[in-house]
Amino acid sequence: MGTMKGSDLGSVEQHVLLAVFRLRGKGYGVSIRDEIAARAERDYSLGSIYAALERLEGKGYLTSEEGEPTAERGGRRKLYFDITAPGKRVLQDALNTTDKLREGIDLGGVPA
Amino acid sequence: MGTMKGSDLGSVEQHVLLAVFRLRGKGYGVSIRDEIAARAERDYSLGSIYAALERLEGKGYLTSEEGEPTAERGGRRKLYFDITAPGKRVLQDALNTTDKLREGIDLGGVPA
DNA sequence: TCCAATTTGTTCTATATCCTTGAACATATC
DNA sequence: GATATGTTCAAGGATATAGAACAAATTGGA
């Protein structure tokens, strides 16, 4: 992107931020993937999720923290993510941009 | 993207589709850029706009048609774009995916 | 006890697509 | 030719993708 405006989010990034926000501290790679799948029927591979998480943390929009091992069977520790104040701001902005462009239009579409 | 699901839109693509829809046949490179800037205060370079238009037309989400020269001063002919039925569908889908993830959440934010 | 099998989760690799700017080019009027 | 308007090109960086590789935790049987 050469020199991006500096405060833009890709569509996966928006979805990941929304899921992290929703999960309020309980979000980690797998649960984020599942949350998006359950709510929006959109299936991302884990590779996509983790890549986005890494970028978002790098930009300061997320923080991460290792969890304790659970007594559930086996498996590696989870890496929990949380959204930061700048993260909320940039997400709000991105959603708002689209909202403004949608204002007052009707795409048609069959009523459910 | 390797093998993408096949029906996904980048964030610029969503904005461009929305602007084209709004302009109802009167949308061309420059007016699309201006529409987005005016409505959403989001400034895209023309290169970004044209690149997205080209991709979207390639996927069958847009059609284009050359306009007649206007008697306005000078300048090249405009290339008018219109959204197709599949374009509307995929746009609807993309917006819907985000909507579902937003459902019921409050990002805070200072009231205007 | 210990270690192989199993489970759960993250990281890495390679590649494709998307996005970006600025310059170049084209075409129309004056 | 000068100027105005609009589109196309070129090159590179950012984002997205799938799947394999790797890591770490629990369980159960020899």
Residue A2 has pLDDT above 60, yes or no: no
Give chain B as a 3 state SS string: CCCCCCCCCCHHHHHHHHHHHHHCCCECHHHHHHHHHHHHCCCCCHHHHHHHHHHHHHCCCEEEEECCCCCCCCCCCCEEEEECHHHHHHHHHHHHHHHHHHCCCCCCCCCC
In this prediction, residue B50 carries a pLDDT of: 98
User: Which residue bears the tokens 């219109």?
Assistant: B82
Sort out which chain B residues have CB atoms less than 8 A from A100's CB and list them. Answer: 39-41
8 Å CB contact between A7 and B90: no
- Residue B16: closest CA among chain A residues belongs to which residue? A101
In this prediction, residue B4 carries a pLDDT of: 38
Whether residue A97 and residue B5 make contact (CB cut-off 8 A), yes or no, is no
A102/B22 Cα distance (integer angstroms): 9
Strand D contacts (CB < 7 A) among A residues 12-71?
Answer: 12-13, 44-48, 50-52, 55, 69, 71
**How many residues appear in chain B?**
112
Write out pLDDT tens, residues B58-81: 999 999 999 877 767 778 899 999
Mean per-residue pLDDT, B88-103? 97
Closest CA to A20 of A7, A8, A34: A34
B21/A105 Cα distance (integer angstroms): 8
Write out pLDDT tens, residues A53-97: 999 999 999 999 998 777 677 788 999 999 999 999 999 999 999
